[in-house]
A = this chain, B = another copy of it.
């Protein structure tokens, strides 16, 4: 009975979030109870609205409110498709203003430890997309330099090269062992410019 039922329910829900342990959940809950009603309602409705409206683009598999997404509809270079693991990686690359081609969001990286193989990623969607057009000449692998990023890059290189595509990777310049989303914009831009064929 230490916490009332609704407070315990809120703490339990907050605790399900990644990186939020019991102490942080408690702290967040108490913080929220101190906020004005309107603020908490704004958070709650932002959650529901985002969940309701945001879908996956059937072309590039990025998150979007429309299908195809704005990026797929905008005039860009169809000859180059940049593969990223997550939407946040796409955003990181867009911030560099260095890349003018298309994207494809894999939705993760190959990780046997977590039971993620190519079939859990949007690889079939990528192949279908490549088959539907002959405009694509180059695939850029922008998957970071973690073990999972390396494994996925290797897998995709072997898959895509036989299709007659030029496969390139972001240049090292990225700090080793880092994740793409934490790279600063200059490093990321440089890595993009100095990409190499594999």
A interface residues with partner B (beta carbon < 8 Å): 1-7, 9-10, 12-14, 16-19, 23-24, 26-33, 35, 37, 39-54, 63-65, 70, 86-88, 91, 94-95, 181-182
Copies of this chain assembled into the complex: 2
Would you call A16 and B39 a contact (CB within 8 A)?
Answer: yes
Given A7-B50, A91-B2, A63:B18 Cβ within 8 A: no
Would you call A9 and B50 a contact (CB within 8 A)?
Answer: yes
Given A2-B94, A32-B50, A51-B32, A19:B24 Cβ within 8 A: yes
Q: How far is the CB of A189 from chain B (nearest CB, A)?
A: 15
Would you call B46 and A6 a contact (CB within 8 A)?
Answer: yes
Chain B hits for A65, CB < 8 A: 4-6
Q: CA of A10 to CA of B24 in the docked complex: distance in angstroms?
A: 19
Would you call A47 and B43 a contact (CB within 8 A)?
Answer: yes
